[in-house]
Amino acid sequence: MKIVIINYGAGNIQSIKFAIKRLGYDAILTDDVAEIKSADKVIFPGVGEASSAMSKLRESGLDTLVPNLKQPVLGICLGMQLMCNSSEEGKTKGLGIFDVNVVKFTKDVKVPQIGWNEISSLKSTLFSSIPEKSHIYMVHSFYAPVCEETIAVSGYGVNYSAALQKDNFYGTQFHPEKSSKIGEQILENFLSI
């Protein structure tokens, strides 16, 4: 199986590579269009700021490639947020895969949200054999509200989308690569789709 991690200068690549390795696979880190198109599975990571991440995607032409991929694609954290219509962070236009706009947590909660949180209302094969109210690891100041494409919910002052899915596109607000056994199972589920 050919697994590609899209390289567009976003952080957190190594921990994803190690998590894939622990599952017995190798992942290629690349921004090469042909390599990405020929992958069986694509991981679209992200740690950082939305507007600068989007300009890096535009510079490399990946902003037009990603929404047209036909194989399973997993956006993680900022990767998932960039797959939405827009983000309040830097007033950024996103890739428009998920029909929802990313907004900032209110001042009623401490931001960023950092640490372990529960996920519930689990739908999709991404969560096969994952129990309701499992704990996953979050680090974020912005979130996608609950919408039609929500496949997992978490709460922090407000209920929000912990994961999204539309067709072959999946997104997790949390970091499966940092979420222990539950996260490993979610990655394994993604690789078996």
pLDDT of residue 47: 82
pLDDT tens track for 118-175: 999 999 999 999 999 999 999 999 999 999 999 999 999 999 999 999 999 999 999 9
Tell me if residue 135 is catalytic: no
Q: Which of 118, 175, 184, 188 is catalytic?
A: 175
pLDDT of residue 13: 86
**Residue 179: pLDDT above 80?**
yes
Tell me if residue 140 is catalytic: no
pLDDT tens track for 7-32: 987 767 889 999 999 999 999 999 99
pLDDT of residue 10: 72
Is the previous residue joined to 145 through a cis bond, with omega within 30 degrees of 0?
no
Q: Which of 59, 77, 132, 148 is catalytic?
A: 77
Bridge partners for 161 per DSSP: 153
pLDDT tens track for 32-83: 999 999 999 999 998 889 999 999 999 999 999 999 999 999 999 999 999 9
Q: Which of 89, 140, 149, 177 is catalytic?
A: 177
pLDDT tens track for 78-112: 999 999 999 999 999 999 999 999 999 999 999 99
Residue 188's pLDDT band (cuts 50, 70, 90): very high
Plot region of 77 (φ>0 → left; ψ -120 to 50 → alpha; else → beta): left
pTM: 0.97
3-state DSSP helix/strand/coil % of the chain, to nearest 5: 30, 35, 35
Given a contact cutoff of 8 angstroms between Cβ atoms, the answer to whether 46 and 79 are in contact is yes
Tell me if residue 77 is catalytic: yes
pLDDT of residue 11: 67
pLDDT of residue 175: 96
